[in-house]
Structure 1
Amino acid sequence: MSESTPASRAKLRQILIWGAVALAVGGGVLGWQRLKPQGLPPSIASGNGRLEATDTDIATKTGGRIKQVLVREGDNVKAGQTLAIMDTALLEADLARAQAQVRQAQQASATVDALLAQRQQAVTTASAQVAQREAQLALVSKEYQRAKELVAQGFLPPQKLDEANAQLQGARAALSAARSQVAEARTAITTTESQRTEAQSAIETAQASVKRIEADLADATLKAPRDGRIQVRAAQEGEVLGGGGRVLSMVDLSDVYMTFFLPETAAGRVAIGSEARLVLDAAPQYVIPAKVTFVASVAQFTPKTVETAVERQKLMFKVRAHIDPQLLARYTNQVKTGMPGMAHVRIDANAPWPEKLAVKLPAEPAPAPANASAPASAPATASAP
């Protein structure tokens, strides 16, 4: 037997590599076909997933002790419904203190207003005294001029001129003192106005504290942000939680969907708004209508719990199909998230749905009370919306 050349060995390796690639791709396609329900036409793409919904945690804003929890797991609740109440004894004491501070600040402001009025009256009084001193100075000045003329003519002795001059100087001093009193009273007004501004700021600060505490008191009553069902009761009455501590978890049953994965060849033909059909493992006799609301723009690895080992080697696209909220509202008490099933998507809009995927829903249940819990042991056929 002749020895193989390096070129022939390289060619052989290339053939083996391409063969392995072909086997992997073929195995992936065959694996997806095995997982796809049998008997479906090529116009239908399928993937498995679980029913999901929007979860919301009901948590405390500030730390405190739980006083009451008014709902149980499984209860249906309405938006705005009170779910739990926190102990507010400390907040109520803080509110009383803040309200007292408001009253104190208002009283201080009233006192400053009265003082300001007194200062303004003092300015008026001092201004009147200035006018009086000015009149006296004018009179004394005239008397001084007359005394000066009479002394010069010899009708009065010189001491009369001295007396008139003393009265003139005294009147001038009194006028200066009166004017100083006016200036002092006006300065006092400026100071009092600053005090009034400070008093008003103290009132606003105390009122802001009252509003903050009132907001904390309002937040101490935990209410449902939307309609839904209580899924988890994470805390009990009497427990002390920190700020942000979870008390309850609820699920929005008006936003239920199934997330599943499709290979590139199928996902590339699925458009937003495409019709879908959901079949749950617990109720395979029912077919639930849905619509595609999301198709991933970037491929990703399929989760290990979804496909076979061969299929996990392929990149898949995440797809999400939502159930009509009006349909969900009719079967609220029967909707259960987390249930596994298959999602089927029509990738050819012109192709009809096969008979086995025709919409089939259970009999519509009678209306239930808003707070009625789901039955403890519901039949399997009631698990699908």
Structure 2
Amino acid sequence: MKSNQTLSLAVVGLALAGWVGYSFYTAYQPQPMRIQGMIEAQQYSISSKVPGRIDQVLVRKGDNIEKGQLIFTLHSPEIEAKLEQAKAGEKAAGALAQEAETGARSQQIQASKDQWLKAKAAADLMEKTYQRVNNLYADGVVAEQKRDEARTQWQAAKYTESAAFQMYQMAKEGAREETKVAAAEKVRMAAGQVAEVEAFAADTQIESWFEGEVAQVLLQSGELAPQGFPVVTITDTKDAWAVLNVREDYLKHFKKGDTFEAYLPALDRSEQFVVAHIAVMGDFATWRSTDASQGFDLRTFEIEARPVNQDSELRVGMSLVVEL
């Protein structure tokens, strides 16, 4: 009986010694290094290139958005007024170009011809008058002064006839080729101005260029939206990645293209990630001195990793843990 008790005590003592030894062994074993990261995703800002007052916001936070879907509308009386002005200018330029191509109206041509015929008749009359006065001068009836006056009036009438004839020719020929080209170019310029204002007007109906989920709605109906101010932000949940800040002495575990496993507490499961990018320049976000006497330290590098299986359940801000 006594020997059995002794044996039991020996067994208990050995077990206790083994447990203490194992505890000391495990206590002095190196602990796994844990690196915590965060999920990020591509975000887009939906804004307008023209300022205006928000008319309607057609989405809410959490809505899933398709590419080309109408997001919000603007009310801008200034753009509407400018569009009317531009269209009026285009019509005026077109009318001038048409006039240049068509030339003068038949009534204008006839009026110019009548002015020329009138001037020609006056010139013929002054020529006859001069011949009579010259004959009288030769007979000594009139003074030389009278003859010179008649001759001057005849010459002036000839110049008036020539000017009237040139005006008549211009009316028949119409505008010069350079004038027609200039008028046509003014039409093109006016059309460009209309197209520009129409583009601004179209940008009061803002559609999404991306697919994703509405993350924020920053302005509401009735508020003023400055040019380029983000009214709605969209998160592309299908384009998510993990960001880790890794100290450089652990950087050997993360090479571009390597795969590692990370635990996501929010989803209570592990996911596989592939290293996609390693920051070229280190940062001092966290550091540890390697030589206190010389002041050397370890830098931190930012690593981006893409999930092997892109999962829409990944949300911005989720934590993930990697054990090395």
Same fold (TM over 0.5): yes
C-alpha contact (below 8 Å) 2:273/2:305 kept by paired residues: yes
| Aligned residue in 2 for 1:338 | 317
| Aligned residue in 1 for 2:94 | 106
| Aligned residue in 1 for 2:216 | 232
**Structure 2 letter corresponding to 1:270:** F
Shift in Å at residue 65 of structure 1? Answer: 0.4
Q: Which runs of 5+ in 2 are unaligned?
A: 1-29, 118-155, 291-296
C-alpha contact (below 8 Å) 1:276/1:344 kept by paired residues: no
Shift in Å at residue 299 of structure 1? Answer: 2.1
Cα 1:210–1:343 change in 2 (3 A) is: farther
C-alpha contact (below 8 Å) 1:51/1:339 kept by paired residues: yes
Cα 1:225–1:34 change in 2 (3 A) is: farther
Cα 1:310–1:342 change in 2 (3 A) is: farther
| Aligned residue in 2 for 1:22 | none
**Structure 2 letter corresponding to 1:50:** M
Q: Please, which moves more after superposition, 191-200 or 290-299?
A: 191-200
**1:260 pairs with 2:239:** no
| Aligned residue in 1 for 2:126 | none
Cα 1:269–1:343 change in 2 (3 A) is: closer
Shift in Å at residue 84 of structure 1? Answer: 0.7
**Structure 1 letter corresponding to 2:83:** L
1:313-363 Cα offsets, whole Å, 9 max, x none, are: 531222110124xx43xx43x331111222468xxxxxxxxxxxxxxxxxx
How far apart are the structure 2 equivalents of 1:71 and 1:203?
Answer: 41
**1:56 pairs with 2:16:** no
1:101-149 Cα offsets, whole Å, 9 max, x none, are: 212221222222232687xx89xx9xxx9xxxxxxxxxxxxxxxxxxxx
- State the TM-score, normalizing by the size of structure 1: 0.56
Question: Alignment partner of 1:337: what SS?
Answer: coil
Cα 1:36–1:185 change in 2 (3 A) is: farther
How far apart are the structure 1 equivalents of 2:165 and 2:273?
Answer: 86
Q: Choose the corresponding residue for 2:285, options 302, 310, 313.
A: 302
How far apart are the structure 2 equivalents of 1:95 and 1:216?
Answer: 9
**1:320 pairs with 2:304:** yes
| Aligned residue in 1 for 2:272 | 289
- State the TM-score, normalizing by the size of structure 2: 0.66
Shift in Å at residue 282 of structure 1? Answer: 1.9
Give the aligned length.
Answer: 278
| Aligned residue in 2 for 1:36 | 33
Cα 1:282–1:195 change in 2 (3 A) is: same
1:274-317 Cα offsets, whole Å, 9 max, x none, are: 11223222233x111221110123322125xxx8x879x53122
**Is the radius of gyration larger for structure 1 or structure 2?**
2
**Structure 1 letter corresponding to 2:245:** F
Identity of aligned residues (%): 22
Cα 1:267–1:182 change in 2 (3 A) is: farther
